[in-house]
Structure 1
Amino acid sequence: MEIKKPTKTYDAVIVGSGAGGGMTAKVLAEQGLSVAIVEAGPFFDPADPVTKTQMRWPYESPRRGASTQRDFGDFDMAWGGWEIEGEPYTQAEGTDFRWFRSRMLGGRTNHWGRISLRFGPDDFRRRDIDGLGANWPISYEDVKPYYDKVDKLIGVFGTNEGLPNDPDGFFLPPPKPRLHEWYYIKGARKSGVTVIPSRMSMLTKRINKERGLCFYCGQCGRSCMVYADFSSGSCLIFPAQKAGGQIDLFVNCMARSVETGPDGKAKAVSYVNKADRQEYQIKGKVIVLAASACSTARILLNSKEGGLGNGSGVIGRYLHDSTGSSMYGFLPALMDRDRYNEDGVGGMHVYSPWWEDNKKLDFPRGYHIEVWGGQSMPKYGHGFNQAEVQRALGITPGGYGKKYKEELRRIYGAFVGMSGRGESVAQYDNYCEIDPSKVDEWGIPVLRFHYRWTDYERRQARHMQDTFEEILTNMGAKILSGKKTAANDYGLNKPGEIIHEVGTARMGDDPKTSVTNGYGRLHEVPNLFITDAATFPSQADKNPTWTIMALAWRTSDHIISELKKMNL
């Protein structure tokens, strides 16, 4: 295939437009650099009345909002999913890894839960604490100034609590707990489990003229049409463009590889334009990969025999995702409730950060608890499983018409559940590689995954199940989901299902055991940087997005500094 090479050379070419790519583009463009973003999906603006799905009723969908067409519901704002037609991935024997991709400008930031947590001081030095995995080559103090900047730029609600490994920040006022959350607070604290207001990136107070306030529709997963929640397009890319920054968008362009010159430096990104199915190259003085951990590994492994910058042999290795396990029940005290708007933000108003001392436990890393329930908008399948309710309470909803509606109304809003999101230990043998015989629709070799949970994660999930059972019992709830056992790995989600994959090109001081340095700069390619979670040596018991953006900002400042010094 003839490769078409444009004549223009950008200061920076960025692959990916999500949290890392968007932040990198904003910082570089606002410093006067010309930037190109290569995005595999189409353009998307949450305010566009044609494509927005916010404030749509389930009855407007022929599927009543069910998750049969999109994995998180008909109106969820993720154009993609775990399975994308024409873009397969494969599994090694014994592996069942789920790889979620969102093909659109802003990527997964359009539909994520917006749980915005800083990693704590201990999260950067876990090996010193439990002897497992690797320490980061940087500390919390190195990243703290950038966490502060992200808080102020994006906006995050919460409260300062003084918890040593759950650092405080610059918070907007949090929303009040809803009724089911008050029950959770009482039940959790009875078991000695910490509960604090959530830390989430929705605007409860105005921070600038460009973004509106949250109006508590509970539909943040649809991406906010008034820009009250965080997404990369609405909060990073569009503002930078409006401020005069030169950011050219190459949408519907599937990155294949990074091309290098005789001097070993990266010189271009090769991509397939989905419109004409031709391959092009776009040149840059600096190349930045921010395509998500697995996609970044795929690009590097497809760039050169054995992988570009892979002298260590660890590109694709140490892949890990957050653990997850859940339990839910029915709370009779919440039956026959008055009806009122209880939507709130799209997610929990309170949560539980890790409260235990791991030295007393038989697993090394912690987890946080996310709470769900209340009177959210009904849709297909909403409410209850008839057999479960009948078995737990002796209620037989059944029937049709008036009787059916009356029973639904009685128990509407009386369900409550909780999910753990924990840290797994990075393993060398959990990895992705290039499948030697399969390509996607665009002719690009695909990834093959190797992944198994260890006993560390299973014991952690057992602790989750014990904790959830105790809290639900304290609340007076009837457990409907059952308590998971060793037979089903204590309810562990499949690897990848939590969509927090990290670690495929980890940072470190030793080029023999890591891919990048502490600034995300490849040891072997001096002008190639990574600003997504591929560089994470470990995950932490927190969601990774806030750390991705803080590190991307830090790396962008470093790129600007190095360009000024003529080092790139």
Structure 2
Amino acid sequence: MGFVTTRSMAKDYDVIVVGSGAGGGQTAYTLALEGVKVLMLEAGRHYDFRTETPMFQTSADAPLRGASTPDKPFGFYDATVDGGWQVPGEPYTQASADPQQRFDWWRARMLGGRTNHWGRISLRNGPYDFKPHSRDGLGFDWPISYEDVAPYYDKVEMLVGIYGSNDGLENTPDSPDGCLLPAPAMRVGERLIKKHAATLGVPVVPIHRAVLTKKLDDARIPALLHPGNPRAQSLVAQAMRDRAACFWATPCSRGCSIGATYQSPAVHLPPALASGNLDVLCDAMVYEVTTKNGKASGVRFVDRKTGKHIEAKARAVVLAASACESVRILLNSKPGGLANSSGKVGRYIMDTVGSDLSGHVPALEGLPPHNEDGAGGGHAYAPWWLYQQQGRDWAKKLGFPRGYHIEISTGKRMPTSGTGAGLEGYTQGSYGAKFKQDVRRLYGSFVYFSGRGEMIPNEQSWCELDPKVKDRFGIPVLRFHWQWAEHETRQAAHMQKTFADIITAMGGRVQGGGPELDGAKAIAPGGSIIHEVGGTLMGADARTSVTNAFGQTWDVPNLFLSDGAPFASNADKNPTLTIMALAWRQADHIVARLRSKEL
């Protein structure tokens, strides 16, 4: 078992897992360590984080000084390869020409998927987030509660390595002792934001991110993750020893050759491969789930290198290709879509509400040189603080029903373009030695705020197969319908006002002529935050949902979804940690069903 070819893969497996990111990686890890024979199919190419991560290069070493390009929208050194909002030969379409109804779909065609690119922010959904309809009458309740998922949050935090703190805030769950790693100290700018945001009632606390601030405890944790399974404990312990603590050298978005950040190829795949129970096949684009006698019998995929169509067989199939890609596979599997008796496959696509604002703060000018690189991203954030103004009376109290958190960026970030770190507009035309003095004084005196809020599922945001357009392999592509509701645009306007108020309280000045108080203009386009979930609604009733509480499709009992597709809501918390927790819970369920011969 290991990395295989179309010729060397086995004829039959216990489980096929489609996708190698957060959901697929976690599922394959759990199944393989429990003795289940797994075939993982990844649409993208093989990727080696140890040899392909540019750990010490500066932007000056990159083509175009690291500036973004169509095939590298986050800069030359971003870890994503063969991916982005546009993938050559693999289009998608829009149902409307209206720019406000456009949905931009990010894809990563590489081993590990988006876990190589993501911001590593790892926040638990809280009790309110699993029962939002019960709280305000909008959207859907999950058929599970926080208590159902909490033990799996614990496990994922201990396995992955997540830093943060427990602050006892409403609907912002604390973790049990021993789950979190120490949070790095806040930077100077973050401390200043914390001080002045407090005067507005906005809490600023250490953020939770999947970065090792110290080595994982390989003597203690494996037994907690896999009780009664010494073989799994040994493999996980070795994988933990192979990872090093962060030494603040490189932006996490590049990947990490020492394994200090969470990437599926660094955390989930090594122990799973070492178990001898996992085969991985890259460049295998799955487009159909095959069925026999009402059950999934396997999948069909295209070898992206040769164009050959191939079938693989298994006792059960898990789709974890990313929410919209998993929907596409279901819709292409049979006329009308597989597992679609409810008519809900493709419905209720959600993204995170986003809006950004920055400001210049004179109090941060001219600071003495000091090292504040840190863990490749923010060390602090502001959790949502106005829950008491929501609930059933949200319309009277706040004006919009769901909340957001604030991600913070400060400090002397690595310049990527422009002369003098792009500060020419602030130097009043100085040049020569005076220009250099001005740049040194101004550099690092800016603060950046990003709101990340909850979108409520609506009937106007969904995807379907385009009736005419196909990709280069002849597979029908997705067509997107998208619409932000007033719930979200009002939230975006509130973000802008809050950011501006904090900047003003710091004695700063908003950049760019903001804030933008027209929410329809302030809100980021659908898909641009790259948090899309939904499309195979999880519920308690087969007539109105696609999967049950374990991501198991009602119509096909041995077909599961373990990415973000089953999400019944999209809380303001970034979804990756919840995807992994649900995938581990689901994998335990699959193992039990396999052992009882129900699958």
The CA deviation at 1:481 is 2.4
String of CA shifts for 1:464-511, please: whole Å, max 9, x gaps. 011001100011111112324355624110011111101110110111
String of CA shifts for 1:291-341, please: whole Å, max 9, x gaps. 010000000000010100100111010001000001101111222232232
Counterpart residue number, 2:150: 144
The answer on 1:210 being equivalent to 2:242 is yes
**Superposed, which structure 2 residues align to 1:501-520 within 5 Å?**
501-520=532-551
List structure 1 segments (4+ residues) > 6 angstroms apart after TM superposition: 3-7
Counterpart residue number, 2:224: none
CA contact (8 A) 1:6 1:281 kept: no
Correspondent of 2:186 among 172, 177, 180: 177
The answer on 1:20 being equivalent to 2:26 is no
Counterpart residue number, 2:479: 448
Counterpart residue number, 2:229: none
The answer on 1:52 being equivalent to 2:53 is yes
The answer on 1:469 being equivalent to 2:504 is no
Moved more, 13-22 or 154-163: 154-163
Counterpart residue number, 2:466: 435
Counterpart residue number, 1:392: none
Counterpart residue number, 1:187: 196
Cα pair distance change 1:267/1:187, threshold 3 Å: same
RMSD: 1.7
Amino acid of the structure 2 residue aligned with 1:371 = I
The CA deviation at 1:171 is 1.2
The CA deviation at 1:84 is 1.2
Counterpart residue number, 1:77: 79
CA contact (8 A) 2:317 2:558 kept: yes
SS in 1 for 2:466: strand
Correspondent of 2:265 among 208, 233, 240: 233
Q: What's the TM-score once normalised by structure 2's chain length?
A: 0.90
Amino acid of the structure 1 residue aligned with 2:271 = P
Correspondent of 1:97 among 88, 99, 103: 103
Q: What is the alpha-carbon distance in structure 2 between the residues aligned to residue 530 and residue 545 of structure 1? A: 15
The CA deviation at 1:388 is 5.1
CA contact (8 A) 2:423 2:439 kept: no
Counterpart residue number, 1:86: 89
CA contact (8 A) 2:491 2:519 kept: no
Cα pair distance change 1:382/1:503, threshold 3 Å: farther
Q: What is the alpha-carbon distance in structure 1 between the residues aligned to residue 191 and residue 141 of structure 2? A: 38
Q: What is the alpha-carbon distance in structure 2 between the residues aligned to residue 241 and residue 222 of structure 1? A: 24
The CA deviation at 1:421 is 0.1
The answer on 1:483 being equivalent to 2:514 is yes
Gaps of 5+ in 1: 390-394
Amino acid of the structure 2 residue aligned with 1:375 = K
Q: What is the alpha-carbon distance in structure 2 between the residues aligned to residue 52 and residue 314 of structure 1? A: 40
Amino acid of the structure 2 residue aligned with 1:131 = G
CA contact (8 A) 1:386 1:398 kept: no
Amino acid of the structure 2 residue aligned with 1:447 = L
Gaps of 5+ in 2: 1-5, 217-239
Q: What is the alpha-carbon distance in structure 1 between the residues aligned to residue 64 and residue 563 of structure 2? A: 35
CA contact (8 A) 2:55 2:250 kept: no
Q: What is the alpha-carbon distance in structure 1 between the residues aligned to residue 286 and residue 75 of structure 2? A: 28
SS in 1 for 2:32: helix
The answer on 1:345 being equivalent to 2:380 is no
SS in 2 for 1:270: strand
Counterpart residue number, 2:412: 375
Counterpart residue number, 2:235: none
SS in 2 for 1:489: helix
CA contact (8 A) 2:493 2:519 kept: no
String of CA shifts for 1:424-468, please: whole Å, max 9, x gaps. 110122101100100111211110000011110011011101100
The answer on 1:121 being equivalent to 2:127 is yes
**Superposed, which structure 2 residues align to 1:213-292 within 5 Å?**
213-242=245-274, 244-261=275-292, 263-292=293-322
Cα pair distance change 1:20/1:435, threshold 3 Å: same
Amino acid of the structure 2 residue aligned with 1:378 = P
The CA deviation at 1:60 is 1.4
SS in 1 for 2:191: helix
Q: What is the alpha-carbon distance in structure 2 between the residues aligned to residue 30 and residue 148 of structure 1? A: 18
Q: What is the alpha-carbon distance in structure 1 between the residues aligned to residue 423 and residue 182 of structure 2? A: 39
Give the paired residue count: 556
The answer on 1:201 being equivalent to 2:210 is yes
Q: What's the TM-score once normalised by structure 1's chain length?
A: 0.95
CA contact (8 A) 1:5 1:281 kept: no
Q: What is the alpha-carbon distance in structure 2 between the residues aligned to residue 109 and residue 205 of structure 1? A: 20
Q: What is the alpha-carbon distance in structure 2 between the residues aligned to residue 265 and residue 396 of structure 1? A: 70
The CA deviation at 1:415 is 1.2
